[in-house]
């Protein structure tokens, strides 16, 4: 149950950055948090991450993906 709450928080944080809701819009940070949630199996996060990924450079994607994998190992 606690892990699900973290997953929800990660997803919601990504949405905030995607939309600029309460924070400055930032697709890189949104992609990061969607990736963290996606790496935990959230299907909606996978879809949203992939959509935002189309707005980023391949190099940005590579760096963000490495950081997101590191988050889930901690």
d(CA 22, CA 56): 22
Q: Which domain holds residue 38?
A: 2-73
Contact present, 11 and 4 (Cβ < 8 Å)? no
The string of pLDDT tens digits covering residues 45-68 is 999 999 999 999 999 999 999 998
Per the structure, how many domains does the chain have? 1
Contact present, 52 and 29 (Cβ < 8 Å)? no
Q: What is the pTM of this model?
A: 0.88
Q: Which two tokens stand for residue 31?
A: 């992609």
pLDDT of residue 6 exceeding 90? no
Nearest alpha carbon to residue 31 among 47, 16, 52, 46: 52
């Amino acid at each position: 149950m606690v892990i699900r709450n973290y997953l929800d928080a990660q997803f919601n944080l990504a949405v905030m950055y995607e939309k600029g809701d309460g924070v400055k819009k930032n697709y890189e940070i949104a992609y990061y948090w969607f990736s963290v949630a996606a790496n935990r199996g959230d299907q909606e996060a996978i879809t949203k991450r992939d959509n935002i990924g189309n707005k980023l450079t391949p190099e940005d994607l590579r760096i963000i993906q490495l950081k997101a994998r590191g988050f889930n190992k901690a």
